[in-house]
């Protein structure tokens, strides 16, 4: 095979300067004017060298590696190393054999919606419990390589609403690299909070929102001794784009009609779009899916811009309101312009937003079909229900909903919904549970005798039969 290369390149098309991946750099020095999105970098690949290998050979190579035990190529990310980060040496790769997550055939849920080919990509079935593992293995591996090359990196740091910090702490611990995480106080679930603590990260609860934490960590990392691990760093997007690669591989390299993605900081939808475009460019995919971004209505800057036709005007950040989908409660997404630019290359894409009651009911409905959805996945499922109601998805079309995190990270979300307001709200203790939760399933209290048990069972069956679908 030919030699493969990748590098950082300024995302500003009027600049286009390139930099090596092993340089401690997050923005183009020429274009960085101090504003949040100016001078952002993206990873570019030598597509000429990649395209010299026939598509058939790539498929055979990727299939021969997939979920095998030859280090590090059994990883769902590093099995596509040539397309992700060919510059890192195998001995410096830090991997938990991420990827390889289940495509769950949502047969019951799909049947109730009138869809024959509905799937949920369970990216949260991973080592730290979210899709963030896919990007973090690339970033921490590159940091490990830079340290081996003598770069004076003392630690890695991130701002997080929970999942990023869990992934970074886990990979940093595996690599013996110190980790610092900044979390918005009282906006992270206990399971999310305990993960970086357990993995030995220096954990700071800051009295601000995610955007405030992001500003602080950017300043913290400005000296170069602490390496920034947020999705401003485009190395992570290279790992996350393998979601697209893996889904197509799992369908035996056949296309998908619709892909629905929860959107917060706009990194994952950017990465997945790039993945599909790369597959098509290199001949492994005949046609692109219709991509749908899904945002919580309380934090919907991308949806607002989409509805207004992506106006050519300065972006005014919104103040994100509390949402059960706290991992995407972001009003000023760092990858906003990257997302818009790549989405314009995706045919007939849409960006929808979903209310709090819609996302809670959608997650509960899907759970009845055997899933256990996080609130962010509830946002994507709520968008799916909108598309079905509008008749935009046809019965036989293949649809994949991206589930970004494991529902076990969000027990308060489930308790709050099913306990009828008796449990603590995941976002606001004073906020009532949905007024008419269609799928609430509270337990029955029984006396210790058979008649009481039978009565409770009969009541439960009546409750199930009373649920109106559609």
Q: Using CB atoms within 10 A of its CB, is residue 128 exposed (0-12), middle (13-18) or buried (19+)?
A: buried
Check whether residue 321 and residue 393 sit in a common domain.
yes
Place of tokens 């730290």: 128
Check whether residue 355 and residue 292 sit in a common domain.
yes
Please provide the size of the chain in residues. 470
How many C-beta atoms lie closer than 10 Å to residue 453's C-beta?
13
Question: What's 338's domain CATH number?
Answer: 3.40.50.1100
Check whether residue 320 and residue 455 sit in a common domain.
no
Please state the φ and ψ torsions of residue 259, each to the nearest 5 degrees: -130, 125
Contact 132, 167 (CB under 8 A): yes
H/E stretch holding 43 reads strand 41-45
pLDDT of amino acid 423: 45
Blockwise average pLDDT, block size 10, the chain, 470 residues? 91 93 94 88 97 98 96 97 97 97 97 97 96 98 97 95 91 98 81 89 90 88 92 93 98 98 96 98 98 98 97 92 90 93 95 96 96 97 98 97 95 86 48 75 93 95 81
What 8-state DSSP symbol labels residue 27? Answer: B
Place of tokens 């929860």: 262
pLDDT of amino acid 467: 81
Residue 387 domain flag: yes
Check whether residue 409 and residue 450 sit in a common domain.
no
Q: What is the pLDDT of residues 383-394, one digit of tens each?
A: 999 999 999 999
Which string of DSSP letters, residue by residue, matches 365-430?
A: HHHTTT--B-HHHHHHHHHHHHHHHTT-S-TTSEEEEEE-BBGGG-HHHHHHHHTTT-SPPSS-TT
Check whether residue 459 and residue 321 sit in a common domain.
no
Q: What is the pLDDT of residues 50-101, one digit of tens each?
A: 999 999 999 999 999 999 999 999 999 999 999 999 999 999 999 999 999 9
Residue 109 domain flag: yes
Strands 258-262 and 179-184: unpaired
Cα(328)–Cα(330) distance, integer angstroms: 5
Residue 82 domain flag: no
Residue 259 domain flag: yes
Which of 414, 430, 457 corresponds to the end of one domain? 414
Check whether residue 465 and residue 352 sit in a common domain.
no
Check whether residue 399 and residue 453 sit in a common domain.
no
Structural domain count, the chain: 2
Check whether residue 404 and residue 268 sit in a common domain.
yes
Sequence-distant (6+) residues with CB within 8 A of 407 are 124, 363, 367, 371, 372, 373, 374, 377, 413, 414
Check whether residue 375 and residue 302 sit in a common domain.
yes
Place of tokens 């170069």: 224
Residue 137 domain flag: no
Residue 368 domain flag: yes
Q: Using CB atoms within 10 A of its CB, is residue 277 exposed (0-12), middle (13-18) or buried (19+)?
A: middle
pLDDT of amino acid 429: 46
How many C-beta atoms lie closer than 10 Å to residue 152's C-beta?
10
Check whether residue 242 and residue 112 sit in a common domain.
yes
Check whether residue 323 and residue 457 sit in a common domain.
no
- The structure's pTM equals 0.94
Rg over CA atoms, the chain:
22
Which string of DSSP letters, residue by residue, matches 251-284?
A: TTT---SEEEEE-SSSHHHHHHHHHHHHHHHTTS
Check whether residue 279 and residue 372 sit in a common domain.
yes
Residue 446 domain flag: yes
Instruction: Find the farthest-apart pair of alpha carbons in the chain and give their distance in angstroms, rounded.
Output: 78
* Residue range(s) defining the domain that contains residue 469: 440-470
Cα(384)–Cα(324) distance, integer angstroms: 18
pLDDT of amino acid 430: 44
Residue 69 domain flag: no
| 447 DSSP β-pair partners | none
Q: Using CB atoms within 10 A of its CB, is residue 186 exposed (0-12), middle (13-18) or buried (19+)?
A: exposed
**For residue 72, cis peptide bond before it (omega within 30 degrees of 0):** yes
């Amino acid at each position: 095979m030919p030699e493969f290369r990748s590098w950082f390149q300024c995302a500003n098309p009027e600049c286009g300067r390139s930099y090596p991946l092993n340089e401690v750099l997050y923005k183009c020095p020429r274009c960085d004017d101090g504003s949040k999105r100016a001078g952002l970098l993206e990873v570019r690949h030598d597509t000429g060298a990649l395209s010299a290998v026939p598509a058939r050979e790539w498929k055979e190579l990727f299939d021969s590696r997939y979920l095998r035990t030859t280090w590090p190529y059994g990883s769902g990310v590093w099995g596509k190393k040539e397309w992700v980060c060919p510059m890192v040496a195998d001995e410096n790769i830090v991997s938990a054999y991420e990827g390889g997550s289940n495509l769950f055939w949502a047969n019951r849920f799909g049947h109730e919606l009138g869809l024959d080919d509905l799937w949920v990509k369970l990216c949260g079935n991973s080592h730290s419990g979210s899709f963030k593992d896919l990007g973090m293995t690339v970033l921490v591996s590159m940091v490990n390589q830079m340290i081996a090359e003598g770069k004076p990196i003392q630690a890695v740091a991130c701002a997080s609403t929970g999942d990023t910090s869990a992934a970074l702490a886990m990979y940093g611990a595996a690599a013996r690299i110190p980790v610092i995480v900044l979390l918005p106080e009282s906006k992270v679930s206990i399971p999310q909070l305990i993960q970086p603590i357990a993995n030995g990260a220096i954990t700071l609860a800051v009295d601000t929102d995610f955007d405030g934490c992001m500003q602080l960590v950017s300043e913290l990392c400005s000296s170069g001794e602490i390496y920034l691990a947020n999705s401003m760093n485009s190395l992570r997007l290279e790992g996350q784009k393998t979601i697209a690669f893996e889904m197509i591989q799992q369908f035996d390299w056949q296309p998908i009609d619709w892909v629905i993605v929860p959107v917060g900081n706009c990194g994952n939808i950017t990465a997945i779009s790039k993945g599909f475009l790369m597959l098509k460019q290199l001949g492994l995919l005949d046609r692109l899916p219709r991509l749908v971004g899904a945002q919580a209505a309380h934090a919907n800057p991308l949806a607002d811009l989409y509805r207004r036709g992506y106006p050519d005007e300065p972006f005014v950040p919104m103040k994100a309101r509390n949402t059960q989908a706290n991992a995407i409660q972001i009003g000023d997404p760092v990858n906003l312009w990257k997302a818009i630019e790549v989405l314009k290359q995706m045919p007939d894409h849409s960006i929808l937003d979903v209310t709090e009651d819609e996302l809670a009911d959608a997650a509960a409905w899907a759970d009845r079909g055997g899933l256990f959805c996080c609130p962010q996945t509830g946002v994507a499922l709520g968008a799916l229900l909108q598309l079905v109601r509008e008749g935009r998805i046809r019965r036989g079309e293949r649809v994949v909903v991206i589930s970004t995190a494991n529902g076990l990270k969000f027990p308060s979300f489930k308790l709050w919904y099913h306990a009828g307001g008796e449990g603590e709200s995941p976002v606001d203790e004073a906020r009532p549970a949905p007024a008419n939760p269609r799928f609430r399933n509270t337990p029955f209290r029984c006396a210790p005798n058979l008649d009481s048990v039978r009565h409770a069972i009969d009541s439960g069956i009546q409750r199930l039969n009373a649920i109106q679908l559609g």
